[in-house]
Amino acid sequence: MDMERAIIHVSGVVQGVFFRSFTMQKASDIGLTGYVVNLTDGRVKAVVEGSKGKIDALLNALK
């Protein structure tokens, strides 16, 4: 399986208390590894690794 890495920045109304937690749980459920952090400018950054299909599934869930 080809592993890819994606760096995702989410902006907008993502400051809800559970958005970072939601993102981490969704990535884990999909089978991705990585981390999610809140940035000082209000965005959320996710760095994930896995197959392109799994990364695409996470991107769709975050929309």
Q: Catalytic residue numbers?
A: 20, 38
Q: How many degrees, rounded to 5, is the angle at CA 21 between CA 15 and CA 24?
A: 120
Give me the residue label for tokens 């958005």.
19
Both structure tokens of 18 = 């559970």
Give me the residue label for tokens 């459920």.
29
